[in-house]
Amino acid sequence: MNITTTPFQEAAIAYRDNRDRRAGRDKPREQDLAGPRLAYDRGDVGMDDVPLPPLDAYADDMQDTGSTAPERRATVAAIIPKPDRASRFYSAATLKDKPVPPREWLVPDLVPQKTVTLFGGDGGTGKSLLALQLAIGAATGTGWLGRPVQQGGVIFISAEDDDDELHRRTDDILRSAGLTYDDVPDLTMRSLAGEDALLAVETQVALIQSTLFEELDARAALENPVLIVIDTLADVFPSNENDRAKVRQFVGILRGLALKRHCAVVLLAHPSLSGLNSSSGTSGSTAWNNSVRSRLYLSRVVQDDYEPDPDARLLATKKANYGRIGGEIAMKWQAGVFVAEATPTGLDRLAIGAKAERVFLALLRSFAEQGRKVNHAGGPTYAPKVFATNPKAEGVTKAALKGAMEALLSRGTIRIGKEGPASKRRQFLEVAA
């Protein structure tokens, strides 16, 4: 029997033959060619199927024969060919006289194009609904939470909600926006509830794209969407969320999709327990936050473990490589959808700020008369936190009182006092004389 082999197969067979000799076995070479076909991404060249011996068996064999880690890495490197690629290094001088490309956004300052945005929120906060509102806003050009959105096709994948639930939510959103189903021909939906939703598969070497991912990529090539929404991370990621290397590989796979199809990818995720307790919204390994270029977090409005309005939500910008962080959008759930609250401007904003300063000063004086001290830095005596729960706060929020404190400090109306010996110096706020 004549068998034609590639250099990569020869390397694999040579290793197998050597291992068999050491183990006192003698296997026909033909058996070494019987194995799975390993698909790998060749970048611009596309996907190729390369016949190779099974890698899982090699991993076990190398452990059994006592091969060192460098030997194992060298063997794997010999077996798996590197993708063909042309050099893309270039001199910065070649950029001369070329127009500087503008920053591209799906939603200005919130969701950038050609990269991955991680959209977090605890279960039940409504992030899936809000993401579907974004999808419909992009597909119809009607905007999102009062902000403009680039119009175009959208692919919305849900691994949590079935088709009936997607139908109900879509109906609520269309009705609220005064739209009909005839307005959303560019919105492609897919429910994966109860199905295998993995977008990648683990191998002994790295994550590789799954069949579902290839289906998604093919659909994106056909439709040229401006947005792909994936709900949620826990359903589509095949590895431990704390595995830093696998996290970066997975985000790299999704970013490759965003760059290749020139669209924004929004990946929904649940926060870890620490991310929930700290209100940071982080999930698993810090690599999730470090690998994405943008991160949004939806949360309930809670003050001192009390939720005054169960329908209120806050969308915060936790990371923005291409813009400012710290931005917040207040909203309420109304008739099945989230509606952004009006942002005070002009005289209204001045009036709110003046009220917060008046309340802050009045409470600071009242506390001083009672011999109670508050501070500007944090902890149990943090002034904005303590004042917000006081019956005389007149409904002014902790955030508004913090802004008032900063404004009063900058003008010198209040100041930071100090007391106690140098070893136990305490700071507190007081009204300037």
**Per-residue pLDDT tens for 235-255?**
999 999 999 999 999 999 999
pLDDT at 320 over 70: yes
Do 174 and 180 contact (CB within 8 A), yes or no? yes
Domain assignment of residue 87, yes or no: no
Identify the band that residue 234 occupies on the pLDDT scale cut at 50, 70 and 90.
Answer: very high
Bigger pLDDT: 45 vs 100? 100
Domain assignment of residue 228, yes or no: yes
Q: Please provide the DSSP assignment of 314-347 as one string.
A: EEEEEEETTS-S--EEEEEEETTEEEEPPPP-HH
- What domain range is 391 assigned to? 346-431
Q: Are 131 and 66 members of one domain? A: no
Q: How many domains does the chain have?
A: 3
Domain assignment of residue 335, yes or no: yes
Q: Are 157 and 228 members of one domain? A: yes
Q: With pLDDT > 70 as the criterion, what percentage of the chain qualifies?
A: 77
Domain assignment of residue 135, yes or no: yes
Identify the band that residue 87 occupies on the pLDDT scale cut at 50, 70 and 90.
Answer: confident
- Tens of pLDDT, residues 114-136: 999 999 998 899 999 999 999 99
Identify the band that residue 10 occupies on the pLDDT scale cut at 50, 70 and 90.
Answer: low
Q: Are 62 and 134 members of one domain? A: no
- Identity at 285, one-letter amino acid code: S
Identify the band that residue 46 occupies on the pLDDT scale cut at 50, 70 and 90.
Answer: very low
Q: Are 153 and 212 members of one domain? A: yes
Q: Please name which of 166, 155, 228, 236 lies closest in space to residue 195, comparing C-alpha atoms.
A: 236
Mean pLDDT of the region 77-85: 55
Pairing relationship of beta strands 227-231 and 154-158 according to DSSP bridges: parallel
User: What does the radius of gyration of the chain's CA atoms come to, in whole angstroms?
Assistant: 29
In the listed set 340, 370, 387, which residue is the last one of a domain according to the structure?
340
Domain assignment of residue 110, yes or no: yes
- Tens of pLDDT, residues 268-284: 999 877 776 666 777 77
Q: Are 36 and 150 members of one domain? A: no
pTM equals: 0.67
Q: Are 333 and 352 members of one domain? A: no
CATH number of the domain encompassing residue 300: 3.40.50.300
pLDDT at 43 over 70: no
The pLDDT score that the predictor gives to residue 61 is 45
Do 207 and 239 contact (CB within 8 A), yes or no? yes
In the listed set 307, 325, 340, which residue is the last one of a domain according to the structure?
340
Q: Are 335 and 352 members of one domain? A: no
The pLDDT score that the predictor gives to residue 277 is 66
The pLDDT score that the predictor gives to residue 352 is 75
The pLDDT score that the predictor gives to residue 353 is 84
The pLDDT score that the predictor gives to residue 303 is 67
Q: Are 358 and 336 members of one domain? A: no
Mean pLDDT of the region 155-172: 97
Mean pLDDT of the region 349-375: 90
The pLDDT score that the predictor gives to residue 345 is 65
pLDDT at 4 over 60: no
The pLDDT score that the predictor gives to residue 397 is 85
Phi, psi angle pair for 43, to nearest 5°: 70, -120
Q: What is the mean pLDDT of the chain?
A: 83
Domain assignment of residue 91, yes or no: no
Domain assignment of residue 100, yes or no: no
Q: Are 314 and 192 members of one domain? A: yes
Tell me the H-state helices in 36-106: 55-64, 69-79
In the listed set 340, 374, 409, which residue is the last one of a domain according to the structure?
340
Q: Please name which of 41, 99, 109, 48 lies closest in space to residue 259, comparing C-alpha atoms.
A: 41
CATH number of the domain encompassing residue 390: 1.10.10.10
Domain assignment of residue 379, yes or no: yes
Q: Are 181 and 72 members of one domain? A: no
pLDDT at 201 over 50: yes
Q: Are 69 and 110 members of one domain? A: no
The pLDDT score that the predictor gives to residue 309 is 85
Q: Are 130 and 250 members of one domain? A: yes
Identify the band that residue 57 occupies on the pLDDT scale cut at 50, 70 and 90.
Answer: very low
